């Protein structure tokens, strides 16, 4: 049963398609002071955000699993993930589980202490928690390099703009 009803969608910003949902979910995480790689879901079909309440949802075609290499943790994302977001915090999270030893543990809250270089804490409904570095959940965005007086772009033989040396 979906937690996202038509009544909720009426007051929400709703986006359809993987590309725009990837972009919007990373943007929202960044705006809330959370790492942009926290919800690496695949084949998203819909996402939405109700600004007044902070309710957000992400829908994907099927359940996916992602391993956060920097900390060696496997996380499972259900076809529908919902939460309430506020600055530096995700609460009432549904659809996300992490593997601890042989068990899948449900997560219901995530918060960041001393952003952006601090620690991120994941809590379960039973009160258990684990803390990791925020950097383990960040995706580095690709940036164009600038060398000398030439900006490296599509064609490195063309000068895109002058760069003044200080």
Give the domain range for residue 80: 6-137
What pLDDT does 3 receive? Answer: 79
Instruction: Report if residue 148 sits inside a domain.
Output: no
Separation between Cα atoms, residue 31 and residue 34, nearest integer Å: 7
Q: Determine the Cα–Cα distance for residues 94 and 108; give it in Å rounded to an integer.
A: 6
Residue 139's pLDDT is what?
A: 82
Q: What is the residue-level pLDDT of the chain in tens, covering all 166 positions?
A: 677 888 888 889 999 999 999 999 999 999 999 999 999 998 999 999 999 999 999 999 999 999 999 999 999 999 999 999 999 999 999 999 999 989 999 999 999 987 666 899 999 999 999 999 999 998 876 544 444 444 334 333 333 334 444 4
Calculate the alpha carbon distances from 52 to 56, 57, 83, 91 in Å: 11, 14, 14, 15
What is the C-alpha to C-alpha distance for residues 112 and 107, in angstroms, rounded to an integer? 15
pLDDT at 91: 97
Establish if 153 belongs to a structural domain: no
For residue 86, tell me if it sits in a domain.
Answer: yes
Q: Where are the alpha helices (DSSP H) in the chain?
A: 6-10, 18-31
Q: Answer whether residue 109 is part of any domain.
A: yes
**Domain membership flag for residue 161:** no
pLDDT score, position 114: 74
Residue 124, domain member (yes or no): yes
pLDDT of residue 82: 97
Report how many domains make up the chain.
1
Say which CATH number the domain at 44 has: 2.30.240
In a domain, 54, yes or no: yes
């Amino acid at each position: 049963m979906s937690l996202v009803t038509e009544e909720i969608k009426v007051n929400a910003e709703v986006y359809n398609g993987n590309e725009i949902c990837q972009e919007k979910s990373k943007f929202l995480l960044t705006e809330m002071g959370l790492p942009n790689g926290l919800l690496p879901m695949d084949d998203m079909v819909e996402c939405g955000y109700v600004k007044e309440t902070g309710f957000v949802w992400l829908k994907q075609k099927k359940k996916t699993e992602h391993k956060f290499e920097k900390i060696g943790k496997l996380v499972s994302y259900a076809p529908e993930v919902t939460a309430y977001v506020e600055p530096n915090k995700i609460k009432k999270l549904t659809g996300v589980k992490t593997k601890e030893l042989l068990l899948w543990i449900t997560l219901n809250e995530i918060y960041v202490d001393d952003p952006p270089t601090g620690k991120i804490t994941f809590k379960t409904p039973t009160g258990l928690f684990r803390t990791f570095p925020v950097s383990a959940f960040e995706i580095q965005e690709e940036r164009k390099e600038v060398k000398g007086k030439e900006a490296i772009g599509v064609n490195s033989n063309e000068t895109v703009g002058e760069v003044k040396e200080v």
